[in-house]
Amino acid sequence: MIETTAIQPPVLLTDDQVGGFVARGYHLVEPDFPKGFNEAVFEDIRRLERHPGNGILDAVPRLYEVYDHPAVRGALISLLGEDYRMNPHRHLHENPPGSQSQGWHQDGTNVRHHQVWTVLAMYYPHDVPAENGPTVVMPGTHFRNAPTDRLQTYANLKGQVALTVKAGTVAITHYDLWHAMSLNRAATPRYMLKFLFDRQSPPVRPSWNHSPDADKVVRKWITGMVGSQGYCSDYYKEWELRLEMWRWITGHPTTIPPGAFKDILG
């Protein structure tokens, strides 16, 4: 007889957390893994004799526990719906000591839109201080489209955020968010496990802990400054895209009716 462990209920996101994802394009989850878990994953990775590619789950089975954790599962349900699925593509990223900074890029198809069909869920099995080559993201850029060859010419961007996270953190980002690997100035490699998760159906209702007063909560995210503070001429466009995304994931019509934008701004 095979023993089974009871699956704990998912820890769903709040309106404020989903609003933050809509505006910034990312959300950080800090699961309470058992003592020694992250260290064990780290050692499993270091012992790999070759890069497993998409076979990383078979090579390091403990990773199943990362994405089955109620906090991680709850965040994915909140953003992608209850029927979300893990994408067959996943990858172990190693940022070795003395590496060069990576160019900015989008993993998506570089099309500006207001929907959430795919997210990256990046797990870090060890602490990532600034000198260890953290992933860098540019908040709000999931609404911005730029050719990859143009992105490659950009360097440090005003408002960029280095994901200097603690061991066990899972960074969930919109698939179109601009991101890059930074220079590793430490003596040890930086590991990151990248997994993709896909929405299976359009949203018909909020899939997180939604409140009737949510519009008051998310107003700050719809209209707040995210990332650079100097592109005000574009900001009203992002406000509308954020509002459209919010309406889409709550299951409302994506075409904003007259007056709706003004109403939510108060």
pLDDT by residue for the chain (266 residues), tens only, comes to 333 445 789 999 999 999 999 999 999 999 999 999 999 999 999 999 999 999 999 999 999 999 999 999 999 999 999 999 999 999 999 999 988 887 787 776 656 678 899 999 999 999 999 999 999 999 988 888 777 777 776 778 888 999 999 999 999 999 999 889 899 999 999 999 999 999 999 999 999 999 988 888 899 898 887 766 555 566 777 888 899 999 999 998 666 554 555 555 44
Q: What secondary structure does DSSP assign to 228-246, as a single string?
A: -S--HHHHHHHHHHHHHHH
Return the pLDDT at 111. 63
CA-closest candidate to residue 121, choices 57, 185, 58, 184: 57
The answer to whether residues 10 and 147 touch, using CB atoms and an 8 Å cutoff, is no
The answer to whether residues 28 and 171 touch, using CB atoms and an 8 Å cutoff, is yes
pTM, entire model: 0.90
The answer to whether residues 94 and 124 touch, using CB atoms and an 8 Å cutoff, is no
In degrees to the nearest 10, what's the CA dihedral of 48, 50, 56, 59?
Answer: -50
Contacts of 155 (CB under 8 A, 6+ apart): none
Return the pLDDT at 200. 96
Residue 261 burial class via C-beta count within 10 angstroms: exposed 0-12, middle 13-18, buried 19 and up: middle
Q: Which tokens hold the place of 55?
A: 């076979």
Distances (CA, A) of 33 to 20, 189, 200, 256: 24, 22, 28, 42
Return the pLDDT at 3. 39
Return the pLDDT at 109. 65
Contacts of 237 (CB under 8 A, 6+ apart): 143
95 bridge partner residues: 190
What is the set of domains in the chain, with CATH numbers?
1-266 (2.60.120.620)
Amino acid identity of residue 125, one-letter, is: P
Contacts of 198 (CB under 8 A, 6+ apart): 80, 84, 85, 86, 87, 117, 118
